[in-house]
Structure 1
């Protein structure tokens, strides 16, 4: 009995061990290769972008076209997300400050929350979900139709013609989206506090002006530039390396959204911690 049952169990265990070993060795290696490829492409695209701008060879027509396209696919979702974010921040912060008896500081708490974290997080979601997916789908469809190979055969550099203007457009649109979220989010928290939480306009604006400074907005805009750059690099890389027909494009778009979201959230935490360490908040 034991001699007939042991070989199948051993073979199944050996197969599971081999699969786990192969998975462990294959996926980290592929992740490192993808990360290295994205870094290489990002450095090359940034150098190409600035070099073309200084030499007067930057494709501004493609840049403007991509700016309009990215704004069209992200403006409405950003507005739809920014308003609920402002309401949620007002409700949660309002209940907290009411418990500690600090309702007079409602403007500072909600306004700074929107500028410092709300706007960058909403921007990262829109850049990763709307802009990044659109870039990846566009380049992925070009790749599987062999348009990229045809461009290389004709002597047209895809890095200059396609990637560099998309990087510049993504950074510009990301900054504009962040400023848009700051305005809409702050206006939402202000109106919600006045009309739904019985706050006073003077107290809201006064406490916000007492604690906020220009660096808060500059850091949020700096984060948005980094978000746009990283999301465009990831989307362009995965789009240009799409394989397997339309299904491969769909997989590349899914991977671009997931990788961009994880990367942007991590960068947001890193930049916030570095800024908080170098420029600690001063007690008034």
Structure 2
């Protein structure tokens, strides 16, 4: 029995080590996020926030993500419109196409597309930039000079990512909804009045607040994960590439889990409008 127990312990040891590393990483990300929020709030109140860095990063993120956002939002709107229109026609509920299409995009589609773009385009760029500075020992030089990387690098990028996430979410929602409107109304499947009327009847202001809240949270999470992976990069260019890959994968998983939690909480706590 003792031999079997020792063998089982040997087999489980790598898994225990990986679980411990995952817990440590999760804790380090939470600490980095709290630290970045603290520095951002305190520096803004005291007038010491690096607005120049914020503007540079916001413009950089917008240039990186805006065009992919539009290019993804258009086919996304087409797919949703076609599928929703086909199902609505089968069940004889064509007049409700606008509500299903618009609310679905507003609550789920636009924030999810935004989260993927924040993780893939913006997050990878942030991780690569900070990771390159880390392997060149620029981050260590900052610490030696008494500068906190969370204050100088993470906080401005976090605020910029939240701002850009809100912008991208509006772009995705508007583009996808206009695409759906053009397809459904343009093909004569439903009249313009019925399409817009059903959307107005079922949509509510909290839907927009939900979408924008998701976008802000997704931007925050993607930035913190990217910055953490960039600050912990090691091993030269290969280490930076590995950090970028891990950042994107972890961000997508985290954003999907958070999206489910937020959506479930919204459905349970916010009364839904009835026809």
- Please state which band the TM-score falls in when normalised by the shorter chain: over 0.9
Unaligned 5+ runs, structure 1? 1-12
What whole-Å deviation, never above 9, does each CA across 1:37-89 have from its counterpart, x for those lacking one? 00111111100110000000000000000000011111111111111111111
Aligned counterparts of 2:24 and 2:165: Cα–Cα separation in 1:
27
Unaligned 5+ runs, structure 2? none
Aligned counterparts of 1:104 and 1:239: Cα–Cα separation in 2:
50
1:247 and 2:213 aligned? no
Name 1:8's counterpart in structure 2. none
Name 2:114's counterpart in structure 1. 123
Name 2:192's counterpart in structure 1. 201
* Structure 2 counterparts to residues 33-44 of structure 1, below 5 A: 33-44=24-35
1:46 and 2:32 aligned? no
Q: 2:15 aligns with which of 16, 21, 24?
A: 24
TM-score, normalised to structure 2's length?
A: 0.95
Aligned counterparts of 2:66 and 2:29: Cα–Cα separation in 1:
27
* Structure 2 counterparts to residues 32-111 of structure 1, below 5 A: 32-111=23-102
* Structure 2 counterparts to residues 260-271 of structure 1, below 5 A: 260-271=251-262
CA RMSD of aligned residues (A): 1.6
Q: What secondary structure sits across from 2:233 in the alignment?
A: coil
Aligned counterparts of 2:7 and 2:133: Cα–Cα separation in 1:
39
Q: 1:114 aligns with which of 99, 105, 114?
A: 105
Aligned counterparts of 1:158 and 1:52: Cα–Cα separation in 2:
14
Q: Aligned in 2, Cα 1:196/1:136: closer, same or farther, shift over 3 Å?
A: same
Aligned counterparts of 1:92 and 1:26: Cα–Cα separation in 2:
46
Q: CA deviation at 1:221?
A: 0.1
Q: CA deviation at 1:18?
A: 6.9
1:258 and 2:266 aligned? no
TM-score, normalised to structure 1's length?
A: 0.92
